[in-house]
Amino acid sequence: MQVGSQSIAPRTFQKHIIARAHAKRKSRRTILLALSLTSMVDMFSLLVIFLLQTFSTSPEMLMVSKEVRLPTAQSGREILDAPVLAVTKEGLFLDQKLVGPVAEVLQNPDQFMDRLKTMRELWQKTHPEQKFKGELNFQAHREISSVVVAKIMGMLPTQNYDSIQLIVTSGGN
């Protein structure tokens, strides 16, 4: 008997058919094993989505500008989920948007005050039933003068930002 390009004797043909049947059964088993992995893949997908959502809304994932080397402190508490005001050698940043060079902002703070006011009004529009908390996270490069930091922090209460949290790294010198 001829199967394909091979000639097979009658007894070998039976062995061939039996071997083919065994191969089909093995392939069915692998399909069943592959199907049982589906639920595990779904579980891991849900776990990854959960972790991404948890960490993307976490205030601990606060963006620290590359230019800012934060001062260190020995004690601290959890970071607020609030806008970030960063003072670097290059300038003053409000939520990662440049307000201007620090010297210019200190001489003419109108644009800075307008941005704070706009941010406060936007918060009040999105939270109409709540009183404005005035929370702000403040980052300052460790080499920025404390006088400059005090002047900038002195401007914040004029726009009702009364709850200012200084961002530092843990540990002490």
Interval 22-58: pLDDT, tens: 777 766 555 555 556 778 888 889 999 888 877 755 4
pLDDT single digits (tens) 127-172? 888 888 888 888 888 788 888 888 888 888 888 888 888 776 666 5
- CB within 8 Å of 89: residues ≥ 6 apart: 67, 141, 143, 144
- 70 and 153 belong to one structural domain: yes
- 135 and 113 belong to one structural domain: yes
Percent residues over pLDDT 70 in the chain: 68
- CB within 8 Å of 110: residues ≥ 6 apart: none
Q: Which residues constitute the domain of residue 16?
A: 2-56
- 140 and 122 belong to one structural domain: yes
- 109 and 69 belong to one structural domain: yes
- 80 and 41 belong to one structural domain: no
**Nearest C-alpha neighbor of 112 from the set 82, 134, 91, 142:** 91
- 76 and 157 belong to one structural domain: yes
- 50 and 69 belong to one structural domain: no
- 20 and 83 belong to one structural domain: no
Whether the CA torsion 19, 23, 28, 32 is positive or negative: it is positive
Q: CA 84, 87, 90: angle at the middle one, nearest 5?
A: 125
- From 34, 56, 78, the end of a domain falls on 56
pLDDT tops 80 at residue 5: no
pLDDT tops 80 at residue 59: no
- 86 and 63 belong to one structural domain: yes
User: Could you give the number of structural domains in the chain?
Assistant: 2
Spatial distance between the Cα atoms of 136 and 150, rounded to a whole number of angstroms: 15
- 66 and 149 belong to one structural domain: yes
Name the phi and psi angles at 62, rounded to 5: -60, 135
Enclosing H/E stretch for 144: none
Whether the CA torsion 137, 65, 170, 52 is positive or negative: it is positive
